[in-house]
Amino acid sequence: MNYQLILEEIEKEIQPELSKGKVADYIPALASVDGNQFAMTITLKDGTQYSVGNYLEQFSIQSISKVLAFSLAIDIYSKTLYKRVGVEPSGSPFNSLVQLEYENGIPRNPFINAGAIVVADALMSHFGGEYASLEKIMNFTREISANKDIKFDSLVAKSEMEHASRNLSLAYLMKSFGNLDNSVELVVKNYFKQCAITMNTQDLSRAMLYLAFKGKDPISNKEFLSEPQAKRVNALMLTCGHYDASGEFAFHVGLPAKSGVGGGIIAVVPNIMSIAVWSPRLNKYGNSHAGTLALEKFTTKTGLSIF
């Protein structure tokens, strides 16, 4: 298949959609991004990349970082963490307190905010503090993306912390149920730093190869996850990767994927490729409008699907 041609077709077809939706505006650092941008990169097993659009433009990966943090936590997960966060779709917006209260402070899955905060807490305890934990996440991200320059944007993290009421409410609720070991403020701060990692679609697409190839980076040959672990992270992305539009996404796109409010989405076609797409305007569910459509077009044009 001529992937470059397909990406260029998609880029062209997607133009009228770039003005639809709304850039995340709850913090100034995100609100100021030019909403009409679009980028898409795919990476094959041998590292070959095809890209279109603003693929060198860095953006805030936000909730995509939940996949990275959960990958790092998966050994802890199978031992103890599974008691503290589930693997079920939430059926509710990503920051809902209702479900969390009915279910006694146990978040539905690690890809909604509450669940990701519990994962951040577990990593802090496991690695010995907020700095050690953050360093692990940064190093892991640099390693899988094969880019030592990956950083987080401390301005974005700080700005998130100033608008953190909803996440603090979630975290204090879990604390009240005994499901948070460390200081609420420290955990949430660390969580925001992880969300503030900036990457472009080339970095992101490269980084996800380990999930496309059963846990092992096919270029460095390094095994980051075991085969069953990789399968589980992918399953989780499929069922829970897009908040309360996860079913819709699986129905229309049919690939394991995770979105972030920065407008990025990563997806994998197991054994074939990893994909990163970016466009800042979001649909009503908080997922990139043009990014979602681009992925749908890609699976339609290529016939690639897990089903």
The footprint of a copy of itself (CB under 8 A) covers 86-92, 96-102, 108-109, 165-166, 168-173, 175-176, 184, 227-228, 230-232, 234-236, 238-240, 244-248, 250-252, 254, 256, 270, 300, 303, 305-307
* CA 86 to chain CA mean position, Å: 17
Which of 96, 200 has the CB closer to a copy of itself? 96
Dump strand ranges (E) for the chain: 22-23, 39-44, 49-53, 59-60, 151-152, 197-199, 257-259, 264-269, 273-278, 281-282
Least distance CB 275 / a copy of itself (angstroms): 15
Instruction: Select 146 or 168, whichever has its Cβ closest to a copy of itself.
Output: 168
**Coil/strand/helix, residue 38:** coil
Q: How far is the CB of 216 from a copy of itself (least distance, A)?
A: 14
Nearer to a copy of itself, 198 or 226 (CB): 226
Residue 53: name the closest of 20, 106, 107, 17 by CA: 17
CA–CA distance, 57 with 132 (Å, rounded to integer): 29
Q: Which is nearer to a copy of itself, 139 or 176 (CB)?
A: 176
Least distance in Å: CB of 139 to a copy of itself? 26
Give least dist CB 149 to a copy of itself, A. Answer: 31
What is the set of active-site residues? 63, 66, 191, 243, 261
Q: Which amino acid is at 225?
A: L
Inter-residue contact 271 to 46 (CB < 8 Å) = no
Amino acid at 222: K
What does the DSSP 8-state code read for residue 307? -
Per-residue buried b or exposed e for 24-62, using 16+ beta carbons within 10 Å of the residue's own CB: beebebbeebebebbbbbbbbeeeebbbbbbbebbbbbb
Q: Which is nearer to a copy of itself, 165 or 221 (CB)?
A: 165
Shortest CB 83 distance to a copy of itself, Å: 14
Min. distance of Cβ 254 from a copy of itself in angstroms?
5
Q: Beta 197-199 vs 151-152: how paired, if at all?
A: antiparallel
Helix orientation angle between 184-195 and 154-162, rounded to the nearest 10 degrees = 130
Distance CA 114, CA 66 (A): 11
CA–CA distance, 306 with 204 (Å, rounded to integer): 21
Quick one: 92 or 220, whose CB is closer to a copy of itself? Answer: 92
